[in-house]
Structure 1
Amino acid sequence: LYPKNESEEEISESRKSIELRLEEAKMILENFQKTFSKIKKMYESVPNPDNELKNYYKQQEKYVKKLTAESKIRK
């Protein structure tokens, strides 16, 4: 991950950068999950959703499951 010629200071800065990016990714995932829960409520409230809405919901459901699974792997 780090070239051997980096100083301790450069390595420390790189780690901080990675940690900040990870924290940002966690916040994005959390917001996506909140948004998806709203989409799910709306989808479930529609008595007979059309195919376009069904496809959109299924796509979002797959995506949130994938992101959640990947975030658990990286913990």
Structure 2
Amino acid sequence: MAILDLHRLHVLREVGRTGSLTSAAAALSFTTSAVSQQIAKLEQEMGVLLVERHPRGGGIDRSRARPPALRRRDRQDS
């Protein structure tokens, strides 16, 4: 597994804390586009979609925020 960029993880944490790309960008003094690009790179590194994107912004995709092994366990429990 590749080493993840801590800066990108910090950006992701801020998206989760604030609830949106736009709010995270404001809190970090970044543009929304810069936050989106950092998240996209992190998603590419991890091979998983982390943020739901829609016309009015985006936020953490709670269903995919859990590690794959836990998601599999959740499906088995249902």
- Structure having the higher strand fraction is 2
TM-score (norm 1): 0.30
Which structure shows the bigger proportion of residues in helix conformation?
1
Alignment TM-score, normalising by the size of structure 2: 0.30
Structure with larger Rg = 1
